[in-house]
Amino acid sequence: MSQIYWYFSLTPQVLYFSQLPPREFGEYLALGESKAARGQALFIELIPFESDYFPFEEAEKLCQEHPDGRPKASLLVSQYGVLEHIPIGNLGNLYFTTKDGLVLEIPQSQKTPPESEGTCHLYQEMSPRAVEVVSSLQPLEFGQWLTSKENTRHFMPKLMFVELKLNGLQNDPDTPAENLPYSNVENLRACLRKLTVKNTLPGKLFNRDSSNMYILARTIKGGFYITEGIKFAFYSFPTEEELETKYHSWWRSASNATL
């Protein structure tokens, strides 16, 4: 029997079983059989775990090779409350696939993330909701704030997000935007001004609809975070030097992407 891989997909937010290893699975998501399903893909390989929430036993029976011997590319296990029910300790590597099917593997960092530069930050929440928020909080502080049970108005059991670049706006909302590729820079400036005037404000909604979950790789600052109170997983995005050398082909494909 072929090995079954477990994947948490962010595009869309689904738990899959598959008989494809990570790179082949990424290529399948980006270049799959249906045009509607093609495009950028982000997913995390999972270390198998037990759960009463997910129908694992039923899904394993259904995740079988096709009659002609082809592996089962994907089997939907669950599409509701997925991140909430995945133990942080069972998160494996993250894979970022371009629309051309090139796959970047990002291992989970074993170190505490470094401090993020700037007094203001832009975060794209990826799961369980998809919005963009500006905040005066450092990334881990931001994640802990939203996943703290004391935060009764905004509480989420777990949160996955990525920090995006603000360039000069991170310290001065009125500085030149330096070709930031965001659709409404003036609205972004206004949100950042409110943070700097009311420095006790932990976060301000910038974009209430990021449902397409499309991420321009050139805007990523720092990396991807998953938080659950004081617990966290961090995926450090490669440096510009690494992208230009070690991951040149992937970077060229990712850099050609547009919103």
CA distances to 1, 32, 130 from 107, rounded to whole Å, are 28, 25, 23
Task: Give me the pLDDT at residue 210, please.
Answer: 60
Q: Please count the other Cβ atoms lying within 10 Å of the Cβ belonging to residue 120.
A: 21
From CA 47, how far away is CA 145, in angstroms rounded?
Answer: 27
Q: Give the ranges where the chain is alpha helix by DSSP (H).
A: 22-31, 56-62, 139-146, 185-197, 240-244, 248-255
Q: What is the pLDDT of residues 149-179, one digit of tens each?
A: 888 787 899 999 999 999 999 999 999 987 8
Q: What is the pLDDT of residues 196-253, one digit of tens each?
A: 776 666 888 888 876 566 899 999 999 999 999 999 999 999 999 999 999 999 999 9
Amino acid at 156: M
Q: In what side-by-side order are the strands of the sheet with 75-78? A: 75-78, 13-18, 5-10, 41-46, 91-97, 103-106
pTM score: 0.93
Cβ-contact 71, 2 below 8 angstroms:
yes
